[in-house]
Structure 1
Amino acid sequence: MSPRDSFDINGCWSGSATILPGNKPVMLYTGIDINNVQVQNIAVPKDPSDPLLVEWKKLDENPLILPPNGINATSFRDPTTAWLGKDGYWRILVGSERSNLGTALLFRSKDFMAWTESQNNFHSAPDTGIWECPDFFPVLLKGKKGLDTSVSGANVKYILKVSVQRTWSDFYTVGDYCLNKDEYVPDNTQGNHYSTTTGLKFDYGKFYASKTFFDEAKTRRILWAWVNESDSAADDFAKGWAGIQAIPRTLWLDKNGKQLLQWPIEELETLRTDEVKLKKTPLTKGSLLEVQGITAAQADIEVRFRLPSLENAESFDPSWNDAQQLCGREDATVQGGIGPFGLLTLASKDLDEYTAVFFRIFKTQDKPVVLMCSGGIRSSLKAELDKPSYGAFVDVDLIDGEISLRSLIDHTVVESFGAGGKTSITTRVYPTLAVGKEAHLYVFNNGTETVEIKRLNAWTMQTPKMNLGHEISSLFAA
């Protein structure tokens, strides 16, 4: 779709698709109208028999939804996938703000054409600014299966995710939804759900404007996200493009009921080749072991570390509540007790350049504290590049003394998953030396305690076949 009508002449922005009864897909999207007002519009497939639904037509009834009273006309966007209540009404959320109060506005419709705003406050939070790209969906209390967006019941929790533009972060909460009141209530009522130090995020790195959908063929919920740029605007113009999609991930609720787990979709494994294995390999203080036999610039690595006794872990200071700040201060070069240990990805042979992905273990009286970091100032030699050290605390007890790490490397992106998907960090980097065949991959330990590689599997990742015709790519075929 392109901006050409009075209701979207200044922009066709984000939206969501919904499958109506009779297997009829429709799309709601935000248009910027002739007066620069953000409105919600509808489009339907031009040819419903086209399996890729390439062409869409906008209906003459547009716009369907105008900004309600009290809403900034330039802060009203990104309708969600609709869900159908037992009362026969379709519902959607639209992201907005009222006087710096981030809010998700709920609208209802019987026929998907005439929409009215709910009189109740679905959910909002102070001092967050506008909420973009809201997403709302049910998850099972137990198991990995995904649910259709309209499913409800006693064995279901709900996820509300919002993109907070102020921090360029995607926050989510786990909670309950009351259909009668059209109200969402997070389980955890303590702390700020939208704080970079206390809020839950899909990803703690370069990851924004995400969206999930229900994959009916494999009964799973899949997450897509935008990995925006760290490079300069001038470089973006020179390249002729900016921003890419992250690897699609499957989402499900952790058995503790407090957070989501996520993992790259299984189809990605069809691209693996040239497997390399390591088992029971000790990493003593200062160890640096190169993983050879794969293409390190385009690779998939899964490694499980076995840890020693936690007695020699450094004591954790309760004031260290900002994981990203801690990763910047205690980077891969700073020796600790247990850690830093992990991977040096996109590394030059002399290690002038690398993107470190690693863990550092601290101890408290109650339980160990696991810090996961990625990125850092050595990720590129480009002086003008934004090179933060991203970080997050991993909610894992280390009862068995083991922790896992998976990293997907694709030239300028490193997506990493700690502890089986409890924490993920996506880093956008632009190496100048570790490019193509000059990229190397290392496993390292810069802690005083020996850490064992219990097992490591690494693969070169083939380039997927990109099918631009009328056949669906075999990569995503059911």
Structure 2
Amino acid sequence: MYYNGIYHLFYQFNPKGAVWGNIVWGHSVSKDLINWAPLEPALYPTKPFDINGCWSGSITILPGNKPVIFYTGVDTNNTQVQNLAFPKNLSDPYLREWIKPDYNPVIVPDDSIEPSKFRDPTTAWLSPDKHWKTIIGTRRKHRGMAVMYRSKDFVHWIKAKHPLHSSSNTGMWECPDFYPVSLNGNHGVDTSLFGNGFKHVLKNSLDETRFDYYTVGTYYSEKDRYVPDRTSADDHTGLRYDYGNFYASKTFFDAGKKRRILWGWSNESDTTVDDVAKGWAGIQTIPRAVWLDESGKQLVQWPVEELEKLRGKLVEIKNKEMKTGDVFEVKGIVTSQADVEVKFEVSGLEKAEEFDPSWEDPQVLCGEKGAGVKGGVGPFGLMVLASEHHEEHTAVLFRVFKAPNKHVVLLCHDTSKSSLKGGIYKPSYAGYVDVDVGKSGEISLRTLIDGSVVESFGAGGRTCITSRVYPGLALEGNAHLYVFNNGKEKVRVSHLRAWEMVRPEMN
């Protein structure tokens, strides 16, 4: 949340080690979303209603500028119940201590809800009838559901007769998020706004796939129904914030800069032994501003502007033509922590490979057609966190395919050679990019590189991918950055800018 000039990040945290368990609410604060200082945990298990864990939830700012935590507690019977916590001292700028009233829990699952499948209340919104409303993730058999509750005083909650929304064959919905987006411009809006000039976004983290999915649609407040538009699938084949290692995300409205900020969790792909040796596991991705694309069909995401304060030494390359098989190195900066923006001009689109309609899953396609498989137009892109002789590298690449009425653009993270270490999970990740490359003749890419993290934003943030990689050779000053073209057609790097990034204050 943003509160009185300070950003607060609360997160699921095990103070006793780099494995899951002993879950409390970690708490860190920042004035710029980039430099963070850790505080004592905000919540930890102390009461019968949360003695087996203080699980995920949200913050709502009540009238009078009073924040309240809404969280899932696991009680003495291992039932998931919903609880409230309030700041002990509103005059403390960091809100270090939180009080859990004895009237908790305020919501318990009724007979229609599995006691172990009822969690993660969202930031509440205030409707025109002056009722607060929230949704909680659950399932009924194999139907994922966002059950809705309403309250006049934020303490006494009544379950609505029907869910806000549900979808068959999606399984348990975790960490739901529901918020409005403006139809005009890229500014964010308060969670309670709705009606003309707004669409709504419903996002769910599907426990079965471990990915985050969202739809854009219409919220009918008088009926308490959300209806997705028909522009994307309402299941595990639908739109995703991020087509990589990114889960359990949550947005908040930043009232200071009038924007909606998205946080995502990126878990380790390293071995548990190595996690324990490091002493930590799991990161938050760089916070992203999120807004509705001009098409109204999907969201756009972009790293918060404050990240640019970490940019140091810059190298630039312009108008470099790349024939098939060409590779060149971006020199002059340390690239183990870097921010890279590049525009590729593509030509010869008539020579692009034919798109097979059976390629519904871009991740499978990326696994079959990685950086080493020559195509017509592509693969081309970056080799990041690369060793000098390329035996270790993560490829961030585009491929262009030819379909009957348009071109299909694939953005892919090929991590198959990201590390020579054993025991590491090295999946390829990919998503299709909604860009008319036949009309524009170019594709843009921004990639953030940070030790074990690679975050990519294709076509101005229309498709995003996060990977966790663990090079053994390409570390610190031994990490190299290359641009490559492995397609038959020429590609021109019209403009590349790469910044060495300085280290922020971190937990």
**TM-score with structure 1 setting the length:** 0.96
Deviation (angstroms), 1:98? 0.9
| Amino acid aligned to 1:35 | N
Equivalent residue number for residue 14 of structure 2: none
Equivalents in 2 of 1:129, 1:237: separation in Å? 31
Residue in 2 aligned with 1:119? 161
- Partner Cα distance (1:194, 1:463) in 2: 39
Selected match of 1:142 from 181, 184, 208: 184
1:41 paired with 2:80, answer no
Do residues 451 (structure 1) and 495 (structure 2) align?
A: no
SS in 2 for 1:378: coil
Q: 1-side partners of 2:376 and 2:298: how far apart? A: 29
Kept after mapping to 1: 8 A contact 2:371/2:414: no
> SS of the counterpart of 1:81?
coil
**Matches of 1:309 and 1:335, distance apart in 2:** 15
Task: Indicate the residue corresponding to 1:239 in structure 2.
Answer: 278
Alignment partner of 1:193 is 2:258: no
1:319 pairs with one of 358, 376, 381:
358
Structure 2 SS opposite 1:377? coil
- Provide the residue aligned with 1:78 in structure 2: 120
Which consecutive unaligned segments of at least 5 residues does structure 1 have? 469-478
Do the aligned partners of 2:370 and 2:414 also contact (CA within 8 Å) in 1?
no
1:225 to 264, 280, 293: 264
**Alignment of structure 1 residues 53-452 onto 2, 5 Å:** 53-188=95-230, 192-195=233-236, 198-398=237-437, 399-452=439-492
Kindly report structure 1 stretches of 4+ aligned residues shifted beyond 4 Å: none
The farther-off stretch of 265-274 and 223-232 is 223-232
| 1:93 Cα offset (Å) | 0.6
**One-letter amino acid of the counterpart of residue 412, structure 1:** S
C-alpha contact (below 8 Å) 1:42/1:59 kept by paired residues: yes
**Helix, strand or coil: the match of 1:326?**
helix
> Take 1:336 and 1:189, find their aligned partners in 2: how far apart are those partners?
30
Asked whether 1:12 is paired with 2:54, we answer yes
CA-CA distance at 1:105 after TM superposition:
0.6
Q: Which deviates the most, 310-319 or 242-251?
A: 310-319
Matched residue SS, 2:363: helix
CA contact (8 A) 1:106 1:118 kept: yes
In 1, the alpha carbon distance for the partners of 2:134 and 2:309 equals 36
Deviation, 1:376, is: 2.3
- The one-letter code of the counterpart of 1:28 is F
Counterpart-to-counterpart distance in 1, 2:96 and 2:285: 22
Contact 1:297–1:439 under 8 Å retained in 2: yes
- For the residue of structure 2 that corresponds to 1:379, the secondary structure is coil
Q: Distance in 2 between matches of 1:234 and 1:342?
A: 33
Query: How high is the sequence identity, in percent, across the aligned residues?
Result: 58
Cα 1:289–1:189 change in 2 (3 A) is: closer
Distance in 2 separating the partners of 1:460 and 1:53: 35
- 2:231 and 2:364 map into 1 onto residues whose CA distance is 25
TM-score, with length taken from structure 2: 0.90
**Count of residue correspondences:** 464
Q: How far apart are the structure 1 equivalents of 2:228 and 2:307? A: 33
**What SS does the corresponding residue of 2:435 show, helix, strand or coil?**
coil
CA-CA distance at 1:189 after TM superposition: 7.2
**Contact 1:207 / 1:426 at 8 angstroms: preserved in 2?**
yes
Q: Secondary structure at the match of 2:440?
A: coil
Q: Report the residue type matching 1:193 in the other structure.
A: D
Q: Mind listing any 5+ residue stretches in structure 2 that lack a counterpart?
A: 1-42
8 Å CA contact 1:394–1:422 kept in 2: the answer is: yes
